[in-house]
Amino acid sequence: MANTSAAGGDSPKAKDVPLQYHHVTREKRRKLWNNKSQGCTVWFTGKGRKFHAGILPPCLKSPSQTRSFLFIVAQLKMLFKPYLSFAGKIKSFTGVSQPYEAPKNPDLILETVNVPVEKCANSVLDMIAAKGLIPARQANVATPLTINNNIIDDGNTVQNDIIEEQYVSHNDAYVEALPRLDIGVIDLQWVQVIAEGWSSPLKGFMREDEFLKTIHFNTLDSHVNQSVAIVLAVTGEDKQRLEGNKEIALYHNSTPVAILYSPEFYVHRKEERIARQFGTTHPGHPYIKHINASGDWLVGGEVKALRKILWSDGLDDYRLSPNQLRAKFRELGADAVFAFQLRNPIHNGHALLMQDTRKKLEAKGYKNPVLLLHPLGGKEVFRLFGKLPSGFQVQWHAKARRNAGANFYIVGRDPAGVPHPDPTPSRDLYEPTHGARVLSVAPGLSSLTILPFKVAAYNTVNARMEFFDPARASEFAFISGTKMRNYARSGETPPPGFMAPDAWNILAEFYNPTK
């Protein structure tokens, strides 16, 4: 594509601008963008072509021509050296002294003074989306976008760098007049996930098409990863009573918590959902039990919470939303955010890994990498993130953290530790390394750089946690989360150097309050 006129102006078209054919084909661009976008090629040209036309050869076919070309370039550099420092010896040579010609009908004017780069970039992307050049839904994908060493997007755009939260102001009398549907505690947790934007761009419980895309492709579309089916199960009686209503009030413990709009009811195909999501239909799996006990119908539709979901367990102040976390990262001046999720209380092996990760990011040129840590030991700060033991959970963990601003993700034996429901032979239900391997190729998550989990173990010789060295395997002892909790319950103390003593005392008191 050639630019043959000034931006938005009526300048005469240049006569010396030839048609430029695509040497970089769509196929090549698609490969460069990981099959996610065809992109476009833009040619910028101007009257400077007249100056260098005939001096710079269009192609170089031999070493002698290459040397000749470099000699010409060197001559040109020396020729213009006195004038390249804005000396003003050739009037208007650099264009600095010429008056600015504002475009008459610009598509967009960017104010760049004291405005973050990412906000400027988002303004351009919003304009492109508004013109229909990229799908509108992708323009709302909740992924941070900045340039260079800041938070990276994966081809999806952000709307003003803010996750669209799902809340609605309400009149109590209006809500009370709506038909009522009572929901359980897990459903309420999903309402919180939706309302705060962890599942963005999903805005509610899944309609049938969204559900099918999720269980078959682990995506909402080709660019949006969604490995977890976020659905609301209801009974046949509830379906019959509520079908045909435009809005439904969702209640928990007799308190209205959200409104579901334009509900769509469809059959809850439990066996298919279970088989595709969990890779097993064993009734002993904890979440499979929950699904089998739920209603035979699903209802989907946009959901807006009436207020922030609170649990009054002393941890509500720590449950920051994606927008709050992004704001915090900006406040801290983070140029990289690396996420780490734990199921067990933090010990010195975890600390070693987190410190090592930060050092590696600094070695890559990042100035202020910030850790996003979601420990799930003891009470859960972020409910549901650790309640979905299966091969798909690692994608859900990663996508949710990406929505919060993370662009690096530490992953290792995820989803490890889920025993097979059949007690014999004793084995894990899932292959421990599959989580990391799947995540590295998961659709819609290419913006997230995977940081392999280095295994740390207790070195009995040095009395400290170190990265495991197979060549010195006899020196190491592995202390699992189960063994650690058993220590706490029985009143035993772990070996010195395994965990900070103050932290261990808190853990021991939690698991064995009588001690």
Give DSSP secondary structure letters for 319-334.
---HHHHHHHHHHHT-
| 226: its two tokens | 């969604």
Give the model's pLDDT for residue 39: 55
Residue 470 has pLDDT above 80, yes or no: yes
pLDDT at 263: 98
Of 6, 41, 2, 49, nearest to 25 by C-alpha is 41
Mean pLDDT on 178-207: 95
DSSP-based three-state secondary structure for 192: helix
Query: How far is residue 100 from each of residues 95, 204, 241, 365, measured CA to CA in Å?
Result: 9, 49, 67, 37
Q: How confident is the model at residue 32, as a pLDDT?
A: 57
Is pTM beyond 0.85 here? no
Residue 445 near residue 151 (C-beta atoms within 8 A): no
Partners of 341 in the beta sheet? 374
Q: Residue 244 corresponds to which tokens in the numbers above?
A: 């045909």
Question: What span, in angstroms and rounded, lies between the C-alpha atoms of 146 and 335?
Answer: 9
CB of 39 within 8 A of CB of 134? no
**Cβ burial 418-449 (10 Å sphere, 16+ → b, else e):** bebeeeeeeeebbeeebbbebbeebbbbbbbb
pLDDT at residue 151, as a whole number? 36
> What pLDDT score does 361 carry?
94
Residue 296: what pLDDT? 98
Listed residue (409, 421, 495, 511) closest to 459, CA to CA: 495
Count Cβ atoms within 10 A of the Cβ of residue 407 and give its class: 0-12 exposed, 13-18 middle, 19 or more buried: buried
Q: Which domains does the chain have, with CATH numbers?
A: 178-305 (3.10.400.10), 317-458 (3.40.50.620), 459-511 (no CATH)
- Could you identify the residue written with the tokens 């941070």? 144
Q: Which of 169-173, 401-405, 500-504 has the lowest mean pLDDT?
A: 169-173
Higher-scoring residue by pLDDT: 75, 430: 430
More confident residue, 386 or 114: 114
Most confident of 108-122, 123-137, 282-296, 369-383: 282-296
Half-sphere exposure of 255 (CA within 13 A, CB side): 10
pLDDT at position 338: 95
Structure confidence at residue 199 as a pLDDT band (50, 70, 90): very high
- What pLDDT is stored for residue 297 in this prediction? 99
- How do residues 52-103 score in pLDDT, each as one tens digit? 555 445 554 455 656 666 666 666 666 666 655 555 556 666 666 677 777 8
CA distance 118 to 297: 43
pLDDT of residue 458: 96
378 and 485 Cβ atoms separated by less than 8 Å: no
